[in-house]
């Protein structure tokens, strides 16, 4: 007897990074790492489940910038060159590790075969378009793909500008339809950021559901009867699902989460940093900056163990851990729904467990195997059933509480401070200024038939959206590649202001416009009139 349901939500997102004017660019490797370490490994796991006729249900947000990058022929070609370089490096590693350590040698051979298989899958199986792989599982009913607002802009800090919020939501919907072929049913609001009233914009686009962090449900206007374990519906008719804190703790807790197990691969030891410069130089970027290659020989070993004292990794031992942890998580989820079913007097709960997709594979190398074993174990349990939100809404939901979620994000401390603090607050006066100017342009030229002016207006809209990416503020807070994030913000602001001056003064430089269209070609079908305020 089914006593409850489980929804795994994977949020797949990267900021739009595309530098066609460079043969290689360090930050483009973020995409390449995600393809190699998360997206293709997930597709492999999905395919093994499908081949063995194991039912699974996963919800995955693939954001508009990520869809646009995965569809870019330029980035596809760069990725294939990137893989070929790793194939060559891993071949060198096979020889170098032969006399170093048997476990290192075993992994060198593993990586060499894995990189070759990644290239085969990407180039031959999916014709360089791995979105087709995800679409296959969407069409089979195992994968619910949802959208996100256009450039992952942080909507709670735009709520003073309805046209800016509408532009983010509408463009996200249009990009989804362009790549998936139909309209999205659900959306992941960037950074899980919600403030009262945002659901109105989702309802306008016929988006049926979204997600909030736990406290968004707990601190709803009216205390919810079932906490985060049943969806609410807003006054605008949009369903809202809350994150289960217990699942998050079990998987991603720094103290007790599965990825911290001593047998798993250590992320922070990589030959890109361990090998001598002369040996590794041909596999670094053009500036010789060291970076991760994905070739890693060490395991977590234990909490607090210094990087220099890590022990050698054994992939067979790690995969056995992933199997055991997948089984353990399935048993815990079954026990959780059985307990909640009794507490709720026979009302079936739904456990919603959202994570960054890149946790599985990129940060936690064995994560895709964990997901696979979790669904294999779940298949033998009667109490719990995997489900997607639309399936739950349409087939399992007999009654629902009308409520307004509380303001919330899934960032540190639960609110807005990750995206608004002393390290990044300077950006918002510029973003607000651009929103106001874009609304002015859209209203002033909404009836223009001047083709060059329309192109410039559309490009101005792109530059505004790109400047609004929440990733730049996030990076400034975390202190990783701050110079790049700051430069990207300033670059898009400068390009917008140049376009604004040329449009309003009828001095559009066609050659300059063509160049910036080439540099920032995201959202080719955008219509600047989405910013009209009247």
**What CA–CA distances, in Å, run from 147 to 179, 316, 448, 512?**
11, 36, 31, 32
Q: Is 261 a catalytic residue?
A: no
CA dihedral 210, 46, 248, 258 (to 10 degrees): -170
The residue from 191, 266, 385, 502 that is catalytic is: 191
CA distance 234 to 51: 40
482-504 and 470-478 helices, crossing angle to 10°? 150
Asked whether the beta carbons of 351 and 5 are under 8 A apart, the reply is: yes
Q: CA angle at residue 293 from 291 to 294, to 5 degrees?
A: 130
Asked whether the beta carbons of 103 and 211 are under 8 A apart, the reply is: no
Q: Is 191 a catalytic residue?
A: yes
Phi and psi (nearest 5°) for 47?
-65, -40
- Taking the mean position of all CA atoms in its chain, how far away is CA 107? 28
Asked whether the beta carbons of 233 and 263 are under 8 A apart, the reply is: no
The residue from 356, 432, 440, 527 that is catalytic is: 356
Task: Tokens for 158, please give them.
Answer: 């735009």
Q: Indicate the DSSP class of residue 284.
A: S
Question: In sequence order, which ranges of 348-469 are alpha helices (DSSP H)?
Answer: 367-378, 389-395, 427-444, 451-467
CA distance 139 to 252: 30
Q: Which residues contact 447 (CB under 8 A, 6 or more apart)?
A: none
CA distance 186 to 145: 8
| Catalytically active residues, by annotation | 191, 356
């Amino acid at each position: 007897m089914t006593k409850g349901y489980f929804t795994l939500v994977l949020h797949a997102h990267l900021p739009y990074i595309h530098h066609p004017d460079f043969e290689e660019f360090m930050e483009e490797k973020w995409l390449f790492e995600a393809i190699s370490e998360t997206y293709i490994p997930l597709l492999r796991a999905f395919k093994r489940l499908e081949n063995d006729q194991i039912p699974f249900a996963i919800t995955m947000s693939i954001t508009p910038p990520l869809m646009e990058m995965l569809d870019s022929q330029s980035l596809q070609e760069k990725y294939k060159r990137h893989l070929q370089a790793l194939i060559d490096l891993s071949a060198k590693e096979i020889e170098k590790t032969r006399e170093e350590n048997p476990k290192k040698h075993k992994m060198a051979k593993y990586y060499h075969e894995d990189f070759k298989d990644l290239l085969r899958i990407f180039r031959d199986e999916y014709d360089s378009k791995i979105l087709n792989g995800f679409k296959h599982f969407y069409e089979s009913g195992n994968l619910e793909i949802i959208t996100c607002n256009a450039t992952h802009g942080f909507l709670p800090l735009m709520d003073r500008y309805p046209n800016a919020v509408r532009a983010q939501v509408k463009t996200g919907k249009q990009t989804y339809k362009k790549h998936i072929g139909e309209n999205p049913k659900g959306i992941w609001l960037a950074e899980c950021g919600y403030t009262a009233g945002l659901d109105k914009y989702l309802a306008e686009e016929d988006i049926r559901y979204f997600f909030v962090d736990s406290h968004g449900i707990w601190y709803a206007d009216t205390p919810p009867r079932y906490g985060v374990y049943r969806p609410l519906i807003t006054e605008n008719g949009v369903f809202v699902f809350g994150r289960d804190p217990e699942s998050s703790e079990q998987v991603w807790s720094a103290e007790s989460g599965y990825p911290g197990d001593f047998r798993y691969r250590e992320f922070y030891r990589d030959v890109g940093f361990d090998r001598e410069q002369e040996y590794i130089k041909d596999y670094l970027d053009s500036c010789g900056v060291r970076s991760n290659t994905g070739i890693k020989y060490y395991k977590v070993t234990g909490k607090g163990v210094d990087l220099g004292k890590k022990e050698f990794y054994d992939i067979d031992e790690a995969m056995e851990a992933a199997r055991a942890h997948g089984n353990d998580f399935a048993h815990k989820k079954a026990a959780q729904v059985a307990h909640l079913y009794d507490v709720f007097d026979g009302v079936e709960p739904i456990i919603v467990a959202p994570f960054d997709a890149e946790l599985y594979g990129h940060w936690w190398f064995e994560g895709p195997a964990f997901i696979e074993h979790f669904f294999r174990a779940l298949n033998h349990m009667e109490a719990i059933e995997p489900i997607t939100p639309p399936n739950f809404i349409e087939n399992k939901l007999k009654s629902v509480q009308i409520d307004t979620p509380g303001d919330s994000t899934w960032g540190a401390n639960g609110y807005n401070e990750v995206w608004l603090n002393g390290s990044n607050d300077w950006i918002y006066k510029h973003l607000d200024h651009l929103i106001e100017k874009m609304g002015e342009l859209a209203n002033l030229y909404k009836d223009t038939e001047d083709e060059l002016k329309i192109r410039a207006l559309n490009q101005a809209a792109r530059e505004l959206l790109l400047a609004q990416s929440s990733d730049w503020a996030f990076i400034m807070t975390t202190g990783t590649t701050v110079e790049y994030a700051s430069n990207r913000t300033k670059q898009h602001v400068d390009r917008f202001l140049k376009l604004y001056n040329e449009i309003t003064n009828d001095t559009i430089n066609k050659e300059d416009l063509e160049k910036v269209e080439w540099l920032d070609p995201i959202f080719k079908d955008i219509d600047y009139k989405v910013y009209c305020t009247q």
